Amino acid sequence: MVGNARKSTSTFARAENPPVDLGLLRRILYSVFLLVMLLLLWEGLKAFSASNNYELQIGSATIDLSIFSDMQLPHLGDIARAFTEPAQRNGPPLYSTLIENAGYTLQSAVGGFLLGGFFGFLLAVLFAHSRLMQGGCLPYVVASQTVPLIAIAPMIVIWFSRAGNSALSIPVIAAYLTFFPVTIYTLRGLTSVPETALELMQSYAASQWEIFVKLRLPNALPQIFTALKISATASVVGAIIGELPSGFQNGLGVTILNFARYYNQSPPRLWATIAAAGLVGILFFLVIVLVERLIVRWQREDSD
């Protein structure tokens, strides 16, 4: 008994005070390494293509390398510089325009994330408690995602502007994309409860509500967070796509449309905007990761 306790205590010491988290450090170094490789590949391909006049002769075949020209794939330095230069004559630098527009998009994305998350969770709870509902409705939920978002976005914009509430249309479009992973993952989490864990609750004569709150929901939390991480990035994509047909003046989607229309004037501007859109998604994703760390605290350190 004593020996057992002592041995286990030493295990805790190791688990709680890891000398250095080599795993995390290694992961960060590895991603930085991959990013550097990608950037080197980008510039390397450009340099190689330029030195060959954007044509490659292999035997009798000629390969067109013009997609690596400055017009189609700007230099990384030019893209970086575009952030600091005004997008319009005498206007503010591009980065401040982007931040302002990203703010609009992020607002819609968060709205859509919350709306879709709530609705998706509700559906999952409904499906988890009714086999009939699950069997009848789940195919339509899946089918809803086969309709391209870009096809229904204009419809949603029209509906909401007719109803005099056009500002709501973008969050709703984003929600259309975000509710789906939440429903699927939450449903799996709520229903994948070990048989004995359920029997334990039955042995206490626990009510359905107690089984839900004390067993099904906490059991589903890791999977719910997996869904929320997917939904966070999807909501940004949804908001940008929603902005495209909206006719609004603000948002990253609107900015992308503008810079795409005037691409020939300055290709780096569009690339800078694309990078900004990506950053917004990553930012939202990281916020969810942080919240997950705070709430799902019981998992062993090595499990992700």
Question: Which residues in the 278-297 window bind another protein by CB under 8 A?
Answer: 296
Q: Of 17, 51, 53, 202, which one interacts with another protein (CB under 8 A)?
A: 202
> b vs e for 120-150, b when ≥16 Cβ sit within 10 Å of the residue's Cβ?
bbebbbebbeeeeebeeeeeebeeeeeeebe
- Two structure tokens written together for 287: 């916020």
Query: To the nearest whole angstrom, how small is the minimum distance from the Cβ of residue 189 to another protein?
Result: 12
Contacts of residues 74-79 at CB distance under 8 Å and 24 or more positions apart, as own/partner, are 74/267, 74/268, 74/271, 75/43, 75/46, 76/39, 76/42, 76/43, 78/268, 79/268, 79/271, 79/272, 79/275
69 φ, ψ to 5°?
Answer: -75, 165
Among 114, 221, 275, 283, binds another protein (CB under 8 A): 221
* Bridge partner residues of 61 (DSSP): 58
204 binds another protein (CB under 8 A): yes
Of 50-58, 60-68, 197-205, 279-287, which segment contacts another protein by CB under 8 A?
197-205
Q: Is residue 197 involved in binding another protein (CB under 8 A)?
A: yes
In this complex, which beta carbon is closest to another protein, that of residue 35 or of residue 213?
Answer: 213
Q: Considering only residues 138, 206, 274, 275, which one is a binding residue for another protein as defined by CB under 8 A?
A: 206
- Shortest gap between Cβ of 125 and another protein (angstroms)? 18
- How many CA atoms lie less than 13 Å away from 217 in the CB half-sphere? 11
Q: Pick the closer one to another protein by CB: 84 or 299.
A: 299
Distance CA 272, CA 38 (A): 17
The one among 215, 230, 270, 288 contacting another protein by CB under 8 A: 215
Instruction: Kindly indicate which of the ranges 91-99, 112-120, 133-141, 198-206 contains the residues binding another protein, using the contact rule CB under 8 A.
Output: 198-206
| 187 within 8 A of 226, measured Cβ to Cβ | no
Residue nearer to another protein on the CB measure, 21 or 55? 21
Closest CB to another protein among 7 and 162? 7
Which of 214, 247, 260, 293 forms a contact with another protein (CB under 8 A)?
Answer: 214
Of 295, 149, 171, 189, nearest to 235 (Cα)? 171
CA distances from 291 to 34, 229, 285, 296, 303 (A): 27, 10, 10, 8, 17
Please tell me whether residue 208 binds another protein under the rule CB under 8 A.
no
- Span from 110-118, 136-144, 194-202, 229-237 in contact with another protein (CB under 8 A): 194-202
Which residues form the interface with another protein (CB under 8 A)?
1, 4-5, 7-8, 11-12, 15, 194, 196-197, 199-206, 210, 214-215, 218-219, 221, 296, 298-300
